[in-house]
Chain A
Amino acid sequence: MRKVVFPRLSFLVLFLVASCAGGLKFEEQGSYDLPGWKSSREDDQNTAYLPSTIDVPNKLLWKHDAKKPLKASPIVLGQTVVIGALNKRVHFVDALSGKDLGVYKVSSSISTSACGEDGTVYFCLDRGKETFFALNLRTGNILWKKKLGNLSSSPALCGDKIFVGSSSGILWALNKDAGEKLWEFETKASIISTPACDGLSASTSDERVVCFGSTDGYLYALNRENGEMKWKFKAEGAIYSSPAIKDAMVFFGSVDGYLYALNLGDGSLVWKFKTQADIYSSSAVAESLVYIGSNDYFMYAVNQKTGKLGWKFKTQGLVRSSPIAVGDKLFFGSYDGNFYVVDRFTGKLLWKYQTKGMISSSPAHYDGKIYIPSEDGFLYCFGS
Chain B
Amino acid sequence: MKRLILSIVLFLLLSTSSYGQYYFGKNKVQYTNFDWQVLTTQHFEIYFYTEEKEIAQIAASCAEESYWFLENKFNHRIVKKIPLVVYSSPNYFAQTNIIPSLLPESVAGFTEFLKGRMVIPFNGSYSNFARVIQHELVHAFIMHKIPYVMKAHQRFNYTGLPLWFEEGMAEHWSREWDSEADMMIRDLVISGRFPQLEDIYQLYGTFLMYKMGEAFCAHLKKEYGDDKIGLLFENYWKAPNFSEVFQLTFNKTLKEVWSQWEYSLKKKYFPDIESKDLPNRVSTQLTFDGINIKPEPVFLSDQLWVVFKSNKLGYSSICMMSPKGEKEKTVTLIKGERSPQFESLHLLKSKIGVSEDGMVAFVSKSHENDVLYVYDVTQRKITNEKRFGDLIELSSPTWSPDANQIAFVGVAKNGYSDLYLYELQNRLLTRLTNDIYEEKAPQWSPNGKGIAFSSDRGSWGEEGFLNLFLLALPENKITPLTSGPHHDLAPDWSFDGESLVFSSDRNGSYDLYLLSFDPENGSWHTSQLTSLLTGAFDPSFSPDGKDIFFTAYEKYSFQIHKMSLDSAMVGFDDFSESANLSLHTSPSAWRPKKTEGDQESGSVKYKNRFSFDIAQSAISYDAVYGTVGGFQVALTDMLGNHQYFFLLGNSARSSDDFLSSFNLGVTYINKTHRLNYGYGFYHLKDEYYDEYYGFYTERQYGGMALASYPLSKFKRVDASFFLRQSDRDVYIQNRGRKAFLSTNYISWVLDTSIWDYVGPIDGTRFNFTLGLTLNLKNGKAYNKLALFDFRKYLRLKKNSCYAVRVMGFTSVGKEPQRLYLGGSWSLRGYDRRAFYGRHLVLLNNELRYPLIDNLSIGFPFGKISFHAIRGALFFDAGNAWEDEFDQLYGSFGIGARISLGYVMVLRFDISRTTDFKKISRKTDFDFFFGWNF
Chain A interface (Cβ < 8 Å from any Cβ of B): 68-69, 71, 86-88, 109, 126-127, 150, 167-169, 189-190, 215, 217, 237-238, 240, 255, 277-278, 280, 295-296, 317-318, 320, 335-336, 358, 360, 375
> Taking the complex as formed, is B154 at the interface, i.e. its CB lies under 8 A from any CB of chain A?
yes
> Nearest B residue to A126 by beta-carbon distance?
B238
Chain B interface (Cβ < 8 Å from any Cβ of A): 71-72, 75, 77, 152-154, 224-228, 231, 237-238, 248-249, 251
**What distance in Å separates the Cβ of B894 from its nearest Cβ neighbour in chain A?**
54
- Bound together, the chains give a CA A71 to CA B72 distance in angstroms of 17
CB atoms of A358 and B153 under 8 A apart? no
**20 A-B Cβ contacts within 8 A?**
A69-B152, A86-B154, A87-B154, A167-B251, A168-B251, A169-B251, A189-B224, A215-B225, A217-B225, A237-B225, A238-B227, A240-B227, A255-B226, A255-B227, A277-B72, A280-B75, A295-B75, A318-B71, A318-B72, A318-B77
CB atoms of B231 and A215 under 8 A apart? yes
- Bound together, the chains give a CA A71 to CA B75 distance in angstroms of 13
**What distance in Å separates the Cβ of B235 from its nearest Cβ neighbour in chain A?**
8
Given contacts A295-B72, A358-B77, 11 further A-B contacts (CB under 8 A): A87-B154, A168-B251, A189-B224, A190-B231, A190-B249, A237-B225, A255-B226, A278-B72, A296-B72, A317-B77, A335-B77
> Nearest B residue to A375 by beta-carbon distance?
B152
- Bound together, the chains give a CA A5 to CA B228 distance in angstroms of 49
- Bound together, the chains give a CA A77 to CA B929 distance in angstroms of 66
- Bound together, the chains give a CA A360 to CA B152 distance in angstroms of 14
CB atoms of A127 and B75 under 8 A apart? no
**What distance in Å separates the Cβ of A209 from its nearest Cβ neighbour in chain B?**
25
- Bound together, the chains give a CA A69 to CA B234 distance in angstroms of 13
CB atoms of A278 and B152 under 8 A apart? no
Q: Which residues of B contact A217 (CB under 8 A)?
A: 225
Q: Which residues of A contact B226 (CB under 8 A)?
A: 255
- Bound together, the chains give a CA A168 to CA B238 distance in angstroms of 14
Contacts A167-B248, A277-B72; is A336 near B231 (CB within 8 Å)?
no
CB atoms of B72 and A189 under 8 A apart? no
Contacts A168-B251, A318-B77; is A238 near B228 (CB within 8 Å)?
yes
Q: Which residues of A contact B75 (CB under 8 A)?
A: 280, 295, 318, 320, 360
Q: Which residues of B contact A336 (CB under 8 A)?
A: 77
CB atoms of A278 and B251 under 8 A apart? no
Q: Which residues of B contact A127 (CB under 8 A)?
A: 238
**What distance in Å separates the Cβ of A167 from its nearest Cβ neighbour in chain B?**
7
- Bound together, the chains give a CA A68 to CA B150 distance in angstroms of 11
Q: Which residues of A contact B225 (CB under 8 A)?
A: 215, 217, 237-238, 255
Partner of A109, one of B71, B153, B248, B249: B153
Q: Which residues of B contact A358 (CB under 8 A)?
A: 77
Q: Which residues of B contact A320 (CB under 8 A)?
A: 75
CB atoms of A68 and B77 under 8 A apart? no
Q: Which residues of B contact A360 (CB under 8 A)?
A: 75
> Nearest B residue to A167 by beta-carbon distance?
B248
Q: Which residues of A contact B238 (CB under 8 A)?
A: 126-127, 150
Contacts A280-B75, A295-B72; is A86 near B152 (CB within 8 Å)?
yes
Partner of A68, one of B71, B152, B227: B152
Which 9 residue pairs of A and B lie closest in terms of their CB atoms, listed nearest first? A295-B72, A69-B152, A255-B227, A277-B72, A335-B77, A238-B225, A238-B227, A109-B153, A86-B152
Q: Which residues of A contact B72 (CB under 8 A)?
A: 277-278, 295-296, 318
- Bound together, the chains give a CA A320 to CA B153 distance in angstroms of 20
Q: Which residues of A contact B251 (CB under 8 A)?
A: 167-169, 189-190
- Bound together, the chains give a CA A71 to CA B76 distance in angstroms of 13
> Nearest A residue to B74 by beta-carbon distance?
A318
**What distance in Å separates the Cβ of B573 from its nearest Cβ neighbour in chain A?**
35
**What distance in Å separates the Cβ of A255 from its nearest Cβ neighbour in chain B?**
5
Q: Which residues of B contact A240 (CB under 8 A)?
A: 227
Contacts A217-B225, A255-B225; is A86 near B71 (CB within 8 Å)?
no
**What distance in Å separates the Cβ of B598 from its nearest Cβ neighbour in chain A?**
13
CB atoms of B228 and A86 under 8 A apart? no
- Bound together, the chains give a CA A109 to CA B238 distance in angstroms of 9
**What distance in Å separates the Cβ of A14 from its nearest Cβ neighbour in chain B?**
16
**What distance in Å separates the Cβ of B342 from its nearest Cβ neighbour in chain A?**
50
- Bound together, the chains give a CA A238 to CA B249 distance in angstroms of 13
Q: Which residues of A contact B249 (CB under 8 A)?
A: 190
Q: Which residues of B contact A318 (CB under 8 A)?
A: 71-72, 75, 77
Contacts A87-B154, A109-B237, A336-B77; is A278 near B227 (CB within 8 Å)?
yes
